Amino acid sequence: MNLRFDDLALHQAAFEIRYDDAFLLWDRSGSVWAELLSAQPDLRPTHAEPNKIVFARRGDRELQLTVELRRLVVVAVQPDTQLSEFSEIVTRFAEIAVRNLQISVCSRVGLRVSFMKEYADREAAAEALLQTGMLSLPPDPVFGLSTPVVEPEISIRREDSKNGFSLRLKAETITFELDPSFGLAKLIKPESILKHRIHLDVDSYIQAPIEASKLYFSDWINQTFHVIKRDSRKFFGD
């Protein structure tokens, strides 16, 4: 059977807003995080410097929240399939930051999600992508080769004066190197993990300035995620 959009599993979601320099970050970052931690106590600080502070949650559903001088980012790995918790956390974090840092205008708002499907080898992943029909190949050998294609990739971007999206679909082979920290070599052995997969990455965004007070983060995420899933299916012929 040909690859369908529903064959891909949601892997990661990332939300970002950009704004002009929020210099109040230097004075009010403690207020931002204290207020957020009262509602999200499972977060722990992982990075702190004047222009960038990061808190994260480890576990099966990893979460990372970052506030910088010019942007705010929330990234979730293995989020729930409806992005319900993700949307709630983004809304809480963004509203706290916007209020404390007195952010009046967002210059860019984006939701980026990735979907994956694993395969036994890179040839199988490549063949699955080619069978979607989104990429056609000449039947004869090219550049002197007729061997199977590996790691094909398709990239599309569209924009107007207000909105834009980019879509990237590729077959890829990724190697994860797990190397224990110094002093742990006797307890943890180095490990190399090879993954062959189809990776769909979609970024949908507003690129025109928008007043922060007029942006309902939860509604925008839910609507944008719905559109991403609906229109991504069109590329697969679903």
Measured distance CA(29)–CA(65) in Å, rounded: 13
Q: Tell me: the pLDDT tens digits for 218-231?
A: 999 999 999 999 99
What average pLDDT does range 49-69 have in this prediction? 94
What average pLDDT does range 159-187 have in this prediction? 88
Q: Tell me: the pLDDT tens digits for 123-170?
A: 999 999 998 888 888 888 888 888 888 899 999 999 999 999 999 999
Measured distance CA(113)–CA(190) in Å, rounded: 30
- 33, containing H or E segment: helix 25-39
How far CA 192 is from CA of 11, 172, 175, 178, 201, in Å, comes to 21, 16, 7, 6, 25
Q: What is the pTM of this model?
A: 0.91
Among candidate residues 23, 172, 44, 171, the one with its CA nearest the CA of residue 101? 23
The domains found in the chain, sorted by start residue, are 20-102 (3.30.310), 112-238 (no CATH)
Among candidate residues 167, 128, 166, the one with its CA nearest the CA of residue 149? 128
Paired tokens of 213: 């007070």
Q: Tell me: the pLDDT tens digits for 26-47?
A: 999 999 999 999 999 999 999 9
